Chains A and B, each alone.
Chain A
Amino acid sequence: MADLSPSERSGNGGGPDASGRADRGQLLVVGALVLGTVLILLVLLVNASIYAENLATRNPDVGDEEALAYRAAVVDGVGGVLDRENAEDYDSYGALTGNVSESIRVLDEQLLRIHVRSGVEASIDRSSVVLARGRLLRQAEARPFTDASGTPEWAAALNTNGTRGFVATVNRSSLATTNASNIEADGSNADGAFYVAVSENTTTTEWRAYVYNDSSTGNLSVAVKRGGDSAVTRVCSVDATIATLNFTDGRLDGEPCAGFQWGEGTSGRYDVSFSNGNSANGTYNLTARVEDAGSVPGVGINDGTASDDPGSPYSVPAVYGARLELGYESPELEYETQVRIAPGESDD
């Protein structure tokens, strides 16, 4: 290190020379100290820059995907609960809703436990659960699509504003043989093909879906007349002896069918009716919303379980849909939403 102390120098006698060297030494030291401090500041800044760059590489995942996944799990879970409990054919609506609420409670607790492990509170607000009353109409054994007393023209649901899960399995051999132009020609349906009609309550607008055996191809076919139109158009067909039709979801044997849209062209409350029931044979399920003055008529349908008369259509209480609020809370986010669950509705 530089010798900073003014000392006796032999030969020069110290004096100005010695003090000059000492002053130079001090200046250098001060300058070096300042530069040292500046370099340390630079190092700190570079450190901050490295930290900032590191922050940039971190995943800014706040968990919104998990929140939406929870919402989907609740919708699927409660939908499954409704379908399962409805299929149990309860005698009374009270017993059914009691079991549905209990199942929702179990589902809520299971999901809560799974999410608590990741430090998240995810729950259904059980006090917010509202169930919409419905009725499940069923034909469990293959027979004509007539009512219990064999009448081919009858109403399946009256004054309803929601139908879901209308799935029918039909045998081709039981269907009338015709083609769409025959039905269309004079609108008379002279060959008597079976059809399901959705008719508006307040007007005469009607949507129809005809199910028949096509006379030219021999295929099981579906033709649709939109509400407000008079034209009947064939929308899909399948070459099979038995086929499953999903009326509310617009599918034939699982394949989506363009143009096969439940109640297209109608609006408001409606009746669902079957015509030419003798020209179709098979089984079906239909859930109709009967909240606020809708109904599934007791006349012509056995109001009871399958054990009463397995050979004819029967209707049992069902939950049409559920509305509930759910919440998802983690250290980084809070999310609450209200969902409506009605599996198998035509606008799903």
Chain B
Amino acid sequence: MTDRGVSTTLSYVLTLGITAVLISGLVLAAGGIVESQQRSVAREELRVIGQQLGARLLAADRLARAGGTAVRVEYAAAGTAGGSDYRIEIRGGDPVRISLNATDVDAAVTVTVPLRTTAVDTSVRGGSVEIVLTGAGELEVRKA
């Protein structure tokens, strides 16, 4: 009986230990997969939002070049990307660069748009935005 008592404790400890290690290993790996998936989903959504914003900037550009005195294009973008908030940054130039950076996950995307009207350098929080032709004849992205 006393021999059995020792092996029982040992086997108990070993079983618990191995099970604990295996399960925590599985959970950590799964957690890692979830994180990387979240990053990739966020990047995908940011890319889609960036390109749709680019398409609307091009539409506003066409209207402005056709002699528009007042132009306003709305874009109801999703408020989050992959569950994370994000910021939209516009850098004027040739071509214009739209940078989208997620704040809670490590995901950032840049989209370029060949606009002919000048774009104002701005930075807005992700979500519904509107593109407006300013008095100076430039395109500005503002929070709607």
- Using CB atoms and an 8 Å cutoff, list the residues of chain A in contact with chain B: 16-17, 20, 23-24, 27-28, 30-31, 34-35, 38-39, 41-42, 45-46, 48-49, 52-53, 55-56, 60, 62, 64, 67-68, 71, 325, 327, 331-339
**Cross-interface CB contact of B38 among A45, A55, A334, cutoff 8 Å:** A45
**Contact A67:B63 (CB < 8 A) given known A24-B19, A41-B34, A333-B74:** yes
- A56 & B48 in contact (Cβ 8 Å cutoff): yes
- B15 & A20 in contact (Cβ 8 Å cutoff): yes
- B48 & A55 in contact (Cβ 8 Å cutoff): yes
- Chain B residues near A327 (CB-CB < 8 A): 70
28 A-B contact pairs sorted by A residue (CB < 8 Å): A24-B15, A27-B16, A27-B23, A31-B19, A35-B26, A35-B27, A35-B30, A38-B31, A39-B30, A42-B30, A45-B41, A48-B41, A49-B41, A53-B48, A55-B52, A60-B51, A60-B52, A62-B56, A62-B73, A64-B60, A64-B62, A67-B63, A71-B66, A327-B70, A333-B71, A333-B74, A335-B63, A337-B67
- Chain A residues near B11 (CB-CB < 8 A): 20
Bound complex: CA of A67 vs CA of B59, how far in Å? 10
- Chain A residues near B51 (CB-CB < 8 A): 56, 60
Q: What 4 A-B pairs are tightest by C-beta distance, nearest first?
A: A31-B23, A64-B59, A336-B70, A60-B55
Bound complex: CA of A336 vs CA of B69, how far in Å? 5
**A128 → B minimal CB distance (Å):** 11
**Cross-interface CB contact of A52 among B8, B30, B41, B70, cutoff 8 Å:** B41
**Contact A337:B68 (CB < 8 A) given known A49-B40, A52-B44, A53-B44:** yes
- B45 & A48 in contact (Cβ 8 Å cutoff): yes
Apart from the given pairs A31-B27, A333-B60, 8 other A-B contacts in the complex at a CB distance below 8 Å: A20-B15, A38-B27, A48-B83, A331-B74, A333-B72, A334-B72, A336-B68, A336-B71
Q: B37 contacts the other chain (Cβ, under 8 Å)?
A: yes
- Chain B residues near A71 (CB-CB < 8 A): 66
**A133 → B minimal CB distance (Å):** 24
- B73 & A325 in contact (Cβ 8 Å cutoff): no
- A64 & B30 in contact (Cβ 8 Å cutoff): no
Q: What mask results when residues 2 to 41 of chain B are scored 1 for a CB within 8 Å of chain A, else 0?
A: 0001001101100110011001001100110110011011
**B131 → A minimal CB distance (Å):** 9
Bound complex: CA of A68 vs CA of B66, how far in Å? 8
